[in-house]
Amino acid sequence: MAASCIYDVFLSFSGVDTRKNFTAHLLAALERHDLYTFRDDTKLTRGEEIGPELLKAIEQSKVSIIIFSKSYASSRWCLDELVKIMNCKRRFGQIVIPIFYDIQPSDVRSQRGCYEEAFASHEKRFDMKMVKNWRSALKEAANLSGYDLQNMANGCESTFIETAVREVADKLNLTCLSVADYPVGIKPRVKKLSEFLKLGSNSDNVRIVAIWGIGGSGKTTIAKAMYNRIHRIHEFESSSFLANVGPTSMQPNGFVELQEKLLCDLRLDGNQRIRSQDYGIEVIKRRAWCRKVLLVLDDVDNIRQLRALAINRDLLRSGSIIIVTTRNLSSVSSLQVDEVYKPKELNREESLQLFSWHAFRRDQPVEDYEILSEEVVSYAKGLPLVLEILGSFLSDKTVPEWRSELKKLKKIPNNDVQGKLRLSFDSLDNEQRGLFLDIACFFLLEWTKTCQSKH
């Protein structure tokens, strides 16, 4: 793939045949799936020659979708695009996907019927070498594995488009949320969560699962990984990951901001301005819940947040899934959750790995630091946040410095470390921070200093 890819998808199509119907629907579906698509809309108004801008856009795309329709080969412009696309496939390994729209793939491959006529006309007008290039690019592209509208989904365009776009998204392996700098042990935890969600059970009930645990235990991280995994695969009509619901709701106009983000993610904004929280509740009730949705509500800490987002299981369309992360189960009691998932702390091996990534930028301690690392890790009690903090804090220190810090750490009663970290550091107020430091959690203080000096 070219190093500087800007677009996920480049669409090559004949405007005469498909601009206002198939291509428009395909483009809308690509956008729904957050695939950033380049579509040249100026073919009819520009001269015959394909411009450098367009050639560059092809180079900067990860996937090219070619819509072969009846008039595709009559357009010199399309054929030039095609040559460039096949060139990018050879040079950068660009993924190329042909779609056969209202035309037999065999006619395209063998350049028969309207394709034969188009080439006969080109041969009269253009240089033979150029036409030969077009012919060979066409042959090569038409032989790639692609989609034939007549033979898929009984020719139903909307189902066909949805299937094709999902597969394109899978091919691109796009993850939409960054999960963690150094993910460790995510897979088994996501697997456990998917059991609670009963994924693949074909059940059509609404499913609501709470991820519950203390601050820094990895709730949000697991929710993000799960969201990345299922928001495309499953049959959701729309999805949204609302991060930091609690803290956002505390901001001025925070509830309305959350409502707008939800409607925007579900592609229901329609340029509608939410005038007030109550107005927003009604818009969500009326427009959002008639769809099958995947919704992640991250860090809910008060029942008012669920009310403002009109989250009510009786209103949700069957098959919808809600994942909510919280430190306080009573704040989500109104949801009548089906299951509560409490993520397990990282085990010794996982802890050492995560710590090492932050301390040494590799998955295990470097020489001379093995035993010291084991000792430090035992104090983190498997809490990812603490492992990150300790690792980052110690990363540039010498062995004597490690020893000295460990001595201080040993003064903290072993069982207390986790207890004192019931809230992640960011959420503590000044008074709590003082208390926190009094009990000698010097690592956090140093870490904060380091962070502040970076910003």
Of the two residues 98 and 213, which places its CB atom closer to ligand ATP in the complex?
213
- Type of residue found at 341: Y
Across the strands, what pairs with 296? 241, 323
Structure token digits, residue 288: 């959002």
Could you tell me how many residues of this chain bind ligand ATP (CB under 6 A)?
A: 22
User: Residues 370-395, buried b or exposed e (16+ Cβ, 10 A)?
Assistant: eebbeebbebbbbbbbbbbbbbbbbe
Question: Is 320 among the residues that bind Mg ion (CB under 5 A)?
Answer: no
278-317: which residues touch Mg ion (CB under 5 A)?
299
Query: Which parts of 26-165 are beta strand (E)?
Result: 37-39, 61-68, 95-100, 147-148
Q: Which of residues 290-319 bind ligand ATP (CB under 6 A)?
A: 299
Does position 220 bind Mg ion by CB under 5 A? yes
- Choose among ligand ATP, Mg ion, none what residue 57 binds, the Cβ cut-off being 5 to 8 Å by kind: none
Give yes or no for residue 391 binding ligand ATP (CB under 6 A): no
Angstrom distance (rounded) from CA 325 to CA 322: 10
CB of 189: closest distance to ligand ATP in angstroms? 7
Q: Is 245 in the site for ligand ATP (CB under 6 A)?
A: no
The CB-nearest residue to Mg ion is 220
Describe the strand order of the beta sheet including 95-100 as a list of residue ranges: 37-39, 7-12, 61-68, 95-100, 147-148
> Which listed residue (43, 219, 229, 231) binds ligand ATP by CB under 6 A?
219
Q: What is the DSSP letter of 50?
A: P
Q: Bridge-partner residues for 214, per DSSP?
A: none
Asked about 31 being catalytic, the answer comes back as: no
Q: Could you give the string, one character per residue 165-204, with x where binding to ligand ATP holds by CB under 6 A and - elsewhere?
A: ---------------x-xxxxx------------------
- Encode 336-356: b = buried (16+ Cβ within 10 Å), e = exposed: ebbeebebebbeeebbbbbbb
Instruction: Please state the length of the chain.
Output: 455
- Collapsing DSSP states into helix, strand and coil, what is residue 455? coil
Find the shortest distance in angstroms from Cβ 354 to ligand ATP.
5
DSSP 411: T
Q: One of 31, 49, 59, 81 is an active-site residue; which one?
A: 81
Interface with ligand ATP includes 220 (CB under 6 A)?
yes
* Number of residues in contact with Mg ion under rule CB under 5 A: 2
Cα 290 to Cα 284: distance, rounded to the nearest angstrom: 10
Kindly list the residues in this chain that would bind ligand ATP in the complex (CB under 6 A): 180, 182-186, 213, 215-221, 299, 325, 327, 354, 384-385, 388, 424
> Which residues are known catalytic residues?
81
Kindly list the residues in this chain that would bind Mg ion in the complex (CB under 5 A): 220, 299
